[in-house]
Structure 1
Amino acid sequence: MGRNTRKRRTPLATKAIAASAALALGGGGLIWANFYASAHESNNQTWGGNQTKAATAQVATVSCPDVGQKLTNVPWRARQGVATELANLDKQITEAYARLASTRNAQAKDPSFVQNAIVGPLKEKRAATIDRIRIDVQRVGGSFDTSLQQLAACTAQTADQTTAGGQQNGGGQQQNGGGQQQNGGGQQQGGQQQGNNGGQGGDGPAAADFVDITRVAPNVQGKPQNTGNASTGTFTTRCGVNANQNHNSDNVIVAPGVTNGAHHVHDYVGNQKVNAFSSNQTFLQGGSSCQNRNDLSAYYWPVIRLQDGTQEKDANADGGGKDLNVGRILVAQQAQIKYVGSPASKVVAMPQFLRIITGDAKAFTNGTANANAHWSCTGFENKVQLTTQYPICPQGSKVVRTFAFQNCWDGQNIDSANHRTHVAFPDPASGVCPNGFKAIPQLTMRLVYNVPQPVVQNGQVKNAYAVDGFPEQLHKPITDHDDFISVTSGGLANRIANCINSGRNCA
């Protein structure tokens, strides 16, 4: 769930050291270190202060398996300890990143330096950390899959060897806010194919991340047919656009108790007391930006930033410039939050404190299995939805981000160890939930932004915009994601379900 200033910035090694543990579904990712001049620096400019320039320097990477995604059965009593250890895994990757960035002379002299001085020691640290995860799980009577210990090993790669480039294909089980499936495929639109270059000194975005939406073939498919038992109503909650700038870079779902656990900044609407240390009790006391004061739910998403040469106030802060998220934060002009029904069945009320993450903040390195990014432009939403590229909208059209959350619930759990398996998407053709799952109101969001039109020319982007993210994800559009915690009072959850089941449009 962006980088922007074109002034000379802190050396990459220093920035990498400053970055703390990144807990994005735990402990995996690619480390990128620019061996030569950063493309952010002024001596690389031809357009001045609002240019994003594709990196031409050699980029080295270290790829580490994502441990957190594999932890699907962690007892509740062990989860805080496991989350802390997953944060340690990411801290170790950050340290390896700093090591890569600061030892280029040694690497040039000794071809085995990266393996012997960086990758080898990193494996040892990760093995010890994974073993502590085993101890945490087994201490409370849980079972631990010993094959996870094989995930300790990381590999050194050059930029053209990364798995990231091969994973920019958009497909999978993604659905947009209208319940339609995007065919994604290996998008090659407007003559620009998503590449695997390192973007701006490794932190992106790259020119290939943008496409003129008028040159993209229609790719939106139809919704499933409603059955006689369909729930056809809607419930809209009006919670604003975060005009009061309620921001932080925590992630209470994935990284509870870890400051800057997201390594990127979120916009928050709804509940106003959401940070790494929030609890179910504090959610109930948090107040709300929603017009319906019984809606205390937390709705939050990564900000997008305009890379036009201006600096945001967090240019030297965690989640901002320290994590290579640079540029002016753009507040959405519209933020529509709507719950919709199921084409196949009635819905049951959402349970209190249900957590759902849609999309994957590490989709660039994890692959597309959980990716659910949808980018478009006003006037094009029913025709084109993009997963792996940012749209360049025509004059008078605005950028739109759309999210549709998983709307099938296992009927028992408000969260799961990897924050995935307690909820699911229905079958895209029929809308029927998997066996053992119940349909719940589907949360959809539509965010509209007034973004200056990017210009791509000769591998450069003027007025680039990008979603905030983990530095190693290169600010790829496929990493867009959204987070939700259901918190209601006064019987609101039941009223939402009843409204949808009765076919009414409520607010």
Structure 2
Amino acid sequence: MGRTSRKRRSSLATRMTIASAALLLGGGGLVAVNVYAQAHEENSADTGQQSGSGVVAKTTTIDCPDVGTALPDVPDGARGRVDGELAAMDTQITRAYQRLAQNRAAAAQDPGWVENSVLGPLKAKRGAALDRIGQEIRRSGGSAPQGLGGMAQCTQRATDDNGGDSPAPSTAPSADQTAGQAGAASAPAPSAPAASAPPQQGGTAGGPVAADFQDITKVRPNVQQARNGRSASTGTFTTACGTNANKLRNSDNVIVAPGVTNGAHHMHDYVGNQSNNAFASNDTFAGAATSCRNQGDKSTYYWPVLRVQDGTQEADANQDGGGKEGNVGKILQARTASIKFVGSPRGKVVAMPKFLRIITGDAKAFTNGTANANAHWSCTGFENRQLTDKYPICPRGSQVVRSFKFQSCWDGQNTDSANHRTHVAFADAQGNCQAGFKAIPQLTMRLVYDVQAPKIANGQVKNPYAVDGFPEQLHKPITDHDDFINVFSDQLMQRATNCINRGDRCN
């Protein structure tokens, strides 16, 4: 949401056999399907790997516009019903894929079958849903975006098994002001091994592949920090909430898909508030227990789980959000989870409003582009080197690090927005908030994992690790993201704000 997709189009082979696939959330995106083009077809040797059957592996996708991107302003009275329609559109894409996967022979024998039996009916259903979305917005006094109905059409396209369609840079600056922006796109695009193979574990996992990993010792230092001005608020406030020893996990997302079970289509780890699910209200959060040491912090902090695809079957292997949607392997619990609020390099910060919701990063950045991407991967001992579109391979004795810096500017009025983006923003390169926005304590998080380094040989990766995600995102590292709802007591939030403004170190 809130970004412009930039995708390279490829023509599809006319003869294909569907081998495996994935699903999607959010009213738009890609349904990825492995196909096999005849080896004698033009340029087929350049798009995949020769298999024992004499065919070349490619990936075909159903590409649907992301409707959420087009809905930055939905009246409060329509949001619940619009969220429901978006969830229904997710189901439409899922069922379209299922029809495709269950009719492999028809798709292989008749190139027109996909259009007539999959894309055409999908367009009709999406069109009806888009009409209802427009009606709900207008009924609540809003104006539906122009061209909304044109987002009904989905297309089929081929993409590179090596992950070559990724628009992301290979490394990213770590200054707060550019962490979630597309400015890093000028960095060189990652090069993929010529013979990279589909993932070896999980079958339907859809990634990662060898090209998604990089030796951290071969990355040059690239971390940059904004300089503090004379009026900077230099204090910090640390809250200790554990590493989810309670194993509180589900595949809901109460921010993006309230009231929708399995609205995330991937598993989250939760720390802090112990009542976070799709149906949690502000009252639910306020009355819940918390894993945080300071009981005044009932905030909910959650992120997609990290798994190692070593053939191990997790308890959710046959569940929605888990193995049924390509999220396979053993879930890794973070060794440490550090949660810290910091100040502004330009001046004082104001207290966050209670129940403020913030999402940092983009779970669909592989297909949506990097405008909202904010992934940072590194290794202990090498944290002056960060990666965005690669998982790090850490040397012996070093652990994998995921770090997040949330938006630090607030519009001063709203605790959420229709696209869950526009009520908060990142500061500019000098640390200034845009006009009309106020600096708030910036949430930063650092997750450390013990992960055995995957082995890469002959373009193949053994025992890879990856974040959970929407299957069509192919478990790319650029899709890493983090979510937060502020449920500090008013007293504790004011204490944290004062501490930061004084330049103290508090916890």
* TM-score in terms of structure 1 length: 0.87
CA-to-aligned-CA distance 1:28-76 (integer Å, 9 cap, x gap): 1111123469xxxxxxxxxxxxxxxxx9633221111101122011011
Confirm or deny that 1:231 pairs with 2:220. Answer: no
1:217 to 217, 220, 233: 220
Please give the alpha-carbon distance, in whole angstroms, between the structure 2 residues aligned to 1:164 and 1:213.
Answer: 21
Equivalent residue letter for 1:388: D
- Contact 2:364–2:479 (8 Å) recurs in 1: yes
Confirm or deny that 1:496 pairs with 2:499. Answer: no
Task: Give the equivalent residue in structure 2 for 1:45.
Answer: none
Deviates more, 1:407-416 or 1:133-142: 133-142
Deviates more, 1:446-455 or 1:90-99: 90-99
Please give the alpha-carbon distance, in whole angstroms, between the structure 2 residues aligned to 1:356 and 1:380.
Answer: 28
Confirm or deny that 1:482 pairs with 2:486. Answer: no
Within 5 Å, give how 1:313-328 maps onto structure 2.
313-328=315-330
Task: Give the equivalent residue in structure 1 for 2:109.
Answer: 109
Task: Give the equivalent residue in structure 2 for 1:253.
Answer: 255
Please give the alpha-carbon distance, in whole angstroms, between the structure 2 residues aligned to 1:226 and 1:60.
Answer: 48
Q: What SS is found at the alignment partner of 1:401? A: strand
Deviates more, 1:312-321 or 1:418-427: 312-321
Q: In 2 relative to 1, CA 202–322 (structure 1 residues): closer, same or farther, beyond 3 Å? A: closer
Within 5 Å, give how 1:390-469 maps onto structure 2.
390-428=391-429, 430-469=430-469
Equivalent residue letter for 1:335: A
Task: Give the equivalent residue in structure 2 for 1:49.
Answer: none
CA-to-aligned-CA distance 1:115-142 (integer Å, 9 cap, x gap): 2221122111111111110111111111
Equivalent residue letter for 2:216: I
Q: CA deviation at 1:266?
A: 0.6
Please give the alpha-carbon distance, in whole angstroms, between the structure 2 residues aligned to 1:195 and 1:282.
Answer: 51
- Contact 1:377–1:400 (8 Å) recurs in 2: yes
Taking only aligned residues, the RMSD between alpha carbons, in angstroms, comes to 2.8
Task: Give the equivalent residue in structure 2 for 1:206.
Answer: 209
CA-to-aligned-CA distance 1:449-484 (integer Å, 9 cap, x gap): 000011111121112100000111110000000000
- Contact 2:393–2:453 (8 Å) recurs in 1: yes
- Contact 1:57–1:201 (8 Å) recurs in 2: no
Equivalent residue letter for 1:154: C
Equivalent residue letter for 1:477: P
How many residue pairs were aligned?
470
Q: Which has the higher contact order (CA 8 A, sep 6+)?
A: 1
Give me the identity figure in percent: 61
CA-to-aligned-CA distance 1:240-288 (integer Å, 9 cap, x gap): 0001101111000000000000011111001000000000000011111
Task: Give the equivalent residue in structure 1 for 2:48.
Answer: none
Please give the alpha-carbon distance, in whole angstroms, between the structure 1 residues aligned to 2:485 and 2:146.
Answer: 32
Q: CA deviation at 1:324?
A: 0.8
Q: CA deviation at 1:192?
A: 4.2
CA-to-aligned-CA distance 1:345-390 (integer Å, 9 cap, x gap): 10000000000000000111111110000000001111x1100010
Equivalent residue letter for 1:112: G
Please give the alpha-carbon distance, in whole angstroms, between the structure 2 residues aligned to 1:161 and 1:150.
Answer: 29
- Contact 2:161–2:197 (8 Å) recurs in 1: no
- Contact 1:240–1:289 (8 Å) recurs in 2: yes
Q: In 2 relative to 1, CA 285–147 (structure 1 residues): closer, same or farther, beyond 3 Å? A: same
- Contact 2:173–2:179 (8 Å) recurs in 1: no
Confirm or deny that 1:340 pairs with 2:350. Answer: no
Q: CA deviation at 1:172?
A: 8.4
CA-to-aligned-CA distance 1:367-416 (integer Å, 9 cap, x gap): 1110000000001111x110001000000110000000000000000000
Q: In 2 relative to 1, CA 480–470 (structure 1 residues): closer, same or farther, beyond 3 Å? A: same
Q: CA deviation at 1:106?
A: 1.3
Please give the alpha-carbon distance, in whole angstroms, between the structure 1 residues aligned to 2:66 and 2:31.
Answer: 13
Q: In 2 relative to 1, CA 195–391 (structure 1 residues): closer, same or farther, beyond 3 Å? A: farther
Q: What SS is found at the alignment partner of 2:147? A: helix
Q: CA deviation at 1:443?
A: 0.1
Confirm or deny that 1:387 pairs with 2:388. Answer: yes
Task: Give the equivalent residue in structure 2 for 1:378.
Answer: 380
Q: What SS is found at the alignment partner of 1:165? A: coil
Task: Give the equivalent residue in structure 1 for 2:169.
Answer: 169
Task: Give the equivalent residue in structure 2 for 1:280.
Answer: 282
Task: Give the equivalent residue in structure 2 for 1:41.
Answer: none
Structure 1 unmatched runs, 5+:
1-11, 38-54
